[in-house]
Every structure is written in C-alpha cells, then in structure tokens.
C-alpha cells in the first residue's frame, strides 16, 4: 500500500509539472466533449490528477440529461407525488387527518426546477462557505459553452453558444455526449404540443391529464407513469414484450408487475403501437397484439408518453470524417481502456456499450482519465446497480437467475419478504422482498435483487459485498441494527447459507 501511495504521489507531481508546461502554451492535456455525469466528473478528475483540462458543453448548464431533464427532476416529482399519495391515502391510518388535500401543480413544478437549478449550478458554483467559488474554477477546469466537433486526432472546433467559435488543441479528447430519447415512428413526439411527449415533455406538463398511455414498460415509463398515476391520472402501459423491465430477474419482474397493478396501473403486454393521431383534446392511439398486427384497436388518451429507450447522441461530432467506428446501434466502439481506433480519442458513458446509467458513466469517466494519467483505471461491470424509483423501489445488481442458468452456473437462492421484516411492518410499508443468488460451491454472492422501500439504498450493501467477493454467510453473520429494513438483506443471506430466523 505504501509503495502504491508513493507511485501515486510521484505521478501526481509528474502531471503537475506537465500541467505547468502545457499551461504556458495553448494545448490541453484533456478536452471532454459533454458535461453530463460522465463528462463533468471526468473533467474534474483529470484536473485533480494534474492534467490541464477543458469541458465542452452546448446545453448551457452542466449535468447532462440526468441533472437537467432526467434523474434529478424525475426524482423530485416522484417524491412530491409520493407525499401527496401518502397524505390522501395513508395518513389517516396514522391518525393524521389533513382534510381536503389538493395539488398545486405549479408549485410542485417550481420545486422540481429549484432542485435542478441548485444541482446543475452546483457543478459550476460551489459554496460550502462564503465566498462562493465555482466548482470548475476550484479545480481549474475550463468550461466552453458550445457544440464541439472533433476535427482531428488532437483538435476540437467549438461553435460557441454566443455565436463565436474557438479551436482547441488537446493531447487527449474524451467523448461523453450521452444519449437522447429513441424515436418511435408511429408516435412522433411533440413536446411543445404536450400531447405526445417523451421523458422531457412528461416533466413539464402544465395540468394533470385524466388519462395517459405510456409506450414502453422500462425504467423511464414506469417512473413517470407512477408520478402522474399518484396525482390522479389513469395510466395504461403499452409494452411490446410479454414482461416489463426487460433484463431484470424474471421472478422479481413478475412480483414488481403485481405491485404496480395493485396500485392501479393497467398494462397491455405483448402489444405494439401501430399509429397515433393528435385530435381535439387528446391522442388516438392505435395498437395491436405483437403476434397478430392485423387486430388493431384504437384508444383515446389525453397524453401519450413515448418511453421506448434511448440512443447514443453523436450529432455533428465528426466521427465519420475521422473514421471512428460505431456499431449498429450507433454506439462508439472502444477497447477495454475506452480508446477508439484513434489512440488519442476516447469515449464512455451512454455513447458506448453498456447500461445507460449516470453512475456507470461516472465510473467509466474516472477509469478513462486514470488510464490516461498512468493508473490502472477499471470498472467492474458485474456489480453496477440499477434502480427504478417507483414505490416500492426495485433495485438490482449482479446476475439474474436466467443469466446463471444460461452460463451453466450451479446456484442457490435466498429470499426474504418485507412482510416478515419488523420495520417494514411497523411503518405499513411491507410490499416486496430481497432475493440473493449465490454460487452453490463457494457461497459467493452473484446477484442481489430487491423490491421494497429504500431498495435503492439497500442495494449498496449487496454491491459492496459482491465487489469484495463476500459470501452470503459473511453478510448473514454481520450484525445489522434492529429494527431496520436492512435486516431483510441479512435474513435473505441467512436463507441462502442456512435458514432465516423470522420466516
């Protein structure tokens, strides 16, 4: 450990010297194109390692889709709508009578916007104490507001938002341009019209629709559908596949579907959208069974949310001119160190293969920069958590049963329901379960899947355990505070390694 620390310190001094030399000229060590979770984190890390760094972002605010029109605003609305549902449906159980509870949608949206502004601004503006300081300025990252086009192995042309332009030279160029909603031709999105919207439009509806169709049973559709269902909208999810949240452990996915149906969401599975038409006051949506497209049915909805996934955003980056390869889905092809076929150009995050998650982009951005700086940057893709922030939440990490079967791995299952957890029962929030998958021979944890309150927080214990090669017995023998929801994780691990106590 001391030797490693010494190498890191030496490297830090070396790159500090490099930075001092490059600062005298015009060339950067690193230019990051894209200021989303992967891009701005990579820029900060690069500067921390002593590299002269610039970040190019055209949006006008940092944070990318996640902070501006994705993770953060949707979570703000999910929380607000959850509080409303608690007040209207569950407070009386606790002896709290709020009378006639109403929704002030304008205030709810204002609160959401305040959250976004504080966080996107926080990347630029950092003020733990007065006087205020810019976060990028703190780490000496140059921020270029404009659209970046790669014009050579070491050059970027920036069309600045103010109408000007700037040519930037860099030893290394990092592509972190993220993703955008995938279009659905039978259902063209017009966010300005407010009738057929994507995830961005669903965040700014100016009134609560009576009915909404959500096309797509994935994360975005279920989260945004939950927001509006809680506020009184009748939500119908139209999904082409026979199950929701594809890729999730099937047993867990089926349990999740039952929970959402119980809450009032309707589902049309194995159903494809054929056409749509915006009419007076709503949308006529034509759909048909996936196996028999001739049997068309048309339903009318106030709003249709198209949530059929996302695609890499590479518009006007200049990839074709440079011969940088993309796959059939438009993702930039990179090696294990995030390099494209041009050694000085890298890519990571949503724009490359893998789950389109903010935290995955952050990990890749840091690993990419560490590799450039001479360290062993690494991402363990086997333990990247995924969370759906409905209520209850669904959180998952590692292998599913289906994957283990396909790989021929002998495994054991340990599960424990929240209905047998003291804390969940005491607060009246006991839907769901914890499911743990372990190697039969070694007891090593291979996958953790949770439906329940605070599942997104609880999954961290499973991720940490898998990162360090823990067995189910390791967690089963670790003392957990009582009464807590985390005891369900302990008991699921007890079920895998021996036998649970409370079920």
Pick out the residues of the known binding site for FAD: 75, 148, 177-179, 350, 356-359
Q: How far is CA 329 from CA 240, 309, 311, 332, 350, in A?
A: 19, 12, 7, 9, 12
Length of the chain: 503
Residue 202 backbone dihedrals phi, psi, to 5 degrees: -70, -20
Sign of the CA dihedral 101, 103, 104, 107?
A: positive
How far is residue 257's CA from residue 245's CA, in Å, rounded to a whole number? 9
Among the listed residues 13, 90, 94, 482, the single catalytic one is: 482
Burial 44-54 (b: 16+ CB within 10 A, else e): bbbbbbbbbbb
Dihedral angle, C-alpha 425, 428, 432, 436, nearest 10 ° = -40
Residues at the binding site are 75, 148, 177-179, 216-223, 239, 309, 350, 356-359
Active site residue 482: yes
255 contacts 417 by C-beta, under 8 angstroms: no
Residues at the binding site for NAD(+) are 216-223, 239, 309
How far is residue 389's CA from residue 370's CA, in Å, rounded to a whole number? 31
Say which DSSP state 206 is in. Answer: S
140: Cβ contacts below 8 Å, ≥ 6 apart:
47, 52, 53
Sheet holding 297-301, edge to edge: 271-279, 282-289, 297-301
370 contacts 7 by C-beta, under 8 angstroms: no
For 38, other C-beta atoms within 10 Å of its C-beta total 34
Q: Which residues are annotated as catalytic?
A: 482
């Amino acid at each position: 450990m001391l030797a490693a620390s010494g190498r890191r310190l030496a490297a830090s001094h070396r790159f500090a010297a490099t930075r001092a030399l490059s600062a005298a000229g015009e060339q950067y060590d690193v230019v990051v194109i894209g200021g989303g979770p992967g891009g701005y984190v990579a820029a900060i890390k690069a500067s921390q390692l002593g590299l002269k760094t610039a970040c190019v972002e055209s949006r006008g605010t940092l944070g990318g889709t996640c902070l501006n029109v994705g993770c953060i605003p949707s979570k703000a609305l999910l929380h607000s709508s959850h509080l409303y549902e608690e007040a209207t449906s569950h407070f009386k159980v606790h002896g709290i009578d709020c009378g006639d509870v109403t929704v002030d949608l304008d205030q709810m949206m204002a609160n959401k916007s305040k959250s976004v502004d504080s966080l996107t601004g926080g990347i630029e503006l950092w003020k733990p104490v007065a006087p205020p300081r810019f976060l990028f300025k703190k780490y000496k990252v140059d921020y270029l507001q404009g659209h970046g086009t790669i014009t050579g192995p070491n050059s970027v042309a920036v069309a600045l938002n103010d109408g000007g332009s700037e040519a930037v030279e860099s030893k290394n160029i990092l592509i972190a341009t993220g993703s955008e909603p995938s279009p659905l031709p039978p259902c063209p999105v017009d966010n300005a019209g407010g009738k057929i919207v994507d995830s961005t439009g669903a965040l700014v509806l100016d009134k609560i629709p009576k009915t909404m169709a959500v096309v797509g049973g994935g994360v975005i559709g279920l989260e945004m559908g939950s927001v509006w269902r809680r506020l009184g909208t009748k939500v119908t999810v139209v999904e082409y596949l026979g199950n929701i949240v594809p890729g999730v452990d099937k047993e867990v996915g089926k349990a999740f579907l039952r929970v959402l149906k119980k809450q009032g969401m309707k589902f049309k599975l194995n159903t494809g959208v054929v056409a749509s038409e915006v009419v007076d006051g709503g949308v006529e949506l034509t759909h048909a069974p996936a196996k028999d497209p001739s049997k068309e049915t048309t339903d009318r909805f106030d709003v249709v949310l198209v949530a059929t996934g996302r695609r890499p955003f590479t518009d006007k980056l200049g990839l074709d001119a440079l011969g940088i390869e993309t796959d059939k889905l438009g993702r930039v092809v990179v090696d294990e160190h995030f390099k494209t076929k041009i050694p000085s150009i890298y890519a990571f995050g949503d724009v490359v293969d893998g789950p389109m998650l903010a935290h995955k982009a952050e990990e890749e951005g840091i690993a990419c920069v560490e590799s450039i700086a001479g360290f062993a940057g690494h991402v363990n893709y086997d333990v990247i958590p995924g969370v759906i922030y409905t209520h209850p939440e669904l959180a998952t990490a590692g292998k599913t049963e289906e994957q283990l079967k396909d790989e021929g791995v002998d495994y054991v299952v340990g599960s424990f329901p929240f209905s047998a957890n003291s804390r969940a029962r005491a607060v009246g929030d006991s839907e769901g379960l914890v499911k743990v998958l372990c190697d039969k021979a070694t007891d090593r944890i291979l996958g953790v899947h949770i439906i329940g309150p605070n599942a997104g927080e609880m999954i961290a214990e499973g991720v940490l355990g898998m990162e360090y090669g823990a067995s189910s017995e390791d967690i089963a023998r670790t003392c957990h505070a009582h009464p807590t929801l985390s005891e369900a994780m302990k008991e699921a691990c007890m079920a895998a390694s021996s036998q649970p106590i409370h079920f």
